[in-house]
Amino acid sequence: MSKKKKINANTEFALAEFGSAVEMLPAAKLAPDTKMAAGFIDHAVDEYRHANEFRKISSAAAQRENISGLRQLLSRNLVDKRIVDPNGFLFEKFSFDRFCFFVFLNETFAMRHFATTIIKDDLLTPEEKDIVAEIARDEEKHIHHAGKFVAKIQKSDPFKSRRLMLLERAFLFKRNLQSRTTTINQILSTIVLCFSLFIFALFLKTINLRRKFDTTDDEVFNNQGNLF
């Protein structure tokens, strides 16, 4: 993977953390008790901090490597990449049990990526790797808290636990696939738009050429008069 792709990957991590923070705020608002609400708010604060740290790491790495034309961390990309659904937050759409499984699996997935693709990355300085390692420890904390609820469900209803686990694995796969295909669709849309503008420009040029060489009946008559 090129250094530019690695830096863009860090920006994607920042966007994912930002999206997680956004999802935690309505969860805190709708939580059934203050203790749970405080836990969701603490989770959101962690994720906002992670997003900012990844953004700073991407910016610093780009300056060190003198690389330009990188992706920017834009809030509207949360919707463009389907990280956040504008029609409703997950805590509103999911049952509480399913939401717990969602958080548990997503945080586990994120921590594995931190360990395998970022902490071992030679692009980062030792200080930046320490920051990412601290982020990974935060993710372990989130996994621990969500895992308590998951363990309770596994103990009380093993069949429901397996069903939710499979459901959320499929949802996670679909979400990642949609995110990737959204990028491809944006590229294809840009190509189609550029091609359409090119065809439109040729069409206008053709019309102007016809206007230039076409003459009206009056012009023909005047020109004939000039011959004598």
3-state class (DSSP) for residue 160: helix
Tell me which residue of 73, 97, 98 sits closest to 83, measured CA to CA: 73
CATH class of 3-193: mainly alpha
* Cβ proximity of 145 and 40 under 8 Å: no
Exposed e or buried b per residue across 78-97, where buried means at least 16 C-beta atoms within 10 angstroms of its C-beta: beebbbbeeeebbbeebeeb
- pLDDT value at position 12? 87
Query: Cα dist. 6→89, 111, 113, 120, 130 in Å?
Result: 30, 17, 13, 12, 17
pLDDT tens string, the chain, 228 residues long: the values are 678 888 888 888 899 999 999 999 999 999 999 999 999 999 999 999 999 999 999 999 889 888 887 778 788 888 888 888 888 999 999 999 999 999 999 888 888 877 777 766 778 888 998 898 899 899 999 999 999 999 999 999 999 998 988 888 887 777 666 555 555 555 655 676 666 666 756 666 676 655 555 544 455 445 544 444
Token reading at 155: 């103990």
> DSSP code of 115?
I
Task: Give the residue extent of every domain in the chain.
Answer: 3-193
